[in-house]
Structure 1
Amino acid sequence: MLSQVHYLIRAKTDGQYLVARIPQENKEKIDQYLLLFKEHFEALSYLNSHGSGVSDRFWVESIPGTQLKSILQRWGFTGVGLVQDPLIPRIEFLSI
């Protein structure tokens, strides 16, 4: 995972990353997982399928796997959500 290039979706307005928010059982805390895509076109497919009305408000950013850990720590994410199929979507969640 560290040697790969990953693709993320960011908001143009404030630079926030697209995340999956999963409430915990006690509902006091919400875990946030950074969504990662294997290919640029998969991120665009996700945007066009699930955010067609707002897709112009986002851009796709590429990062090397070596920067992934620092982004997770800086933004306080619980882990990553590896998008396996952007159209359904099917996501595999991994905690750090």
Structure 2
Amino acid sequence: MLSQIYYIARSKSDGSYLVARVNRDVAEKNTGYLLLFSEHFEALTYLNTHAASVADQFAIESIPGTQLGALLKRWNFIGVGIVRDPLLPKIEFLICD
């Protein structure tokens, strides 16, 4: 996981990342699972399929696996959600300590 390049979606307006929230009652903005994609086109497919009305408000960025830990700590994420199929979507959730 550390040697791989991942793709993440980031808001152009406020710089926040696209996340999955398991508990909708949590009001804190920066909690949740950071969504990771294996390919740039998978991130675009996910946005165009599930958030077409706001897809143009996101930019796709690449991040090496070695920088994930620091990003998760900085933004207070619970873990990551690795998107295995952007159309269904099928997501594998991993909690990071």
Q: Given the two structures, how large is their TM-score scaled by the length of structure 1?
A: 0.92
Aligned position for 2:23: 23
Within 2, Cα distance between the matches of 1:11 and 1:67? 19
Within 2, Cα distance between the matches of 1:42 and 1:34? 15
Within 1, Cα distance between the matches of 2:27 and 2:52? 29
% identity of equivalent residues: 60
Aligned position for 1:93: 93
Residue identity in the other structure for 1:56: D
Query: What 5-or-longer segments of structure 1 have no aligned partner?
Result: none
Aligned position for 1:61: 61
* Aligned length, in residue pairs: 94
Q: What SS is found at the alignment partner of 2:45?
A: helix
Q: Given the two structures, how large is their TM-score scaled by the length of structure 2?
A: 0.91
Q: Where has structure 1 moved over 4 Å in runs of 4 or more?
A: 27-31
More strand by share: 1
Shift of residue 4, structure 1, vs aligned partner: 0.4
Aligned position for 2:12: 12
Within 1, Cα distance between the matches of 2:35 and 2:70? 15
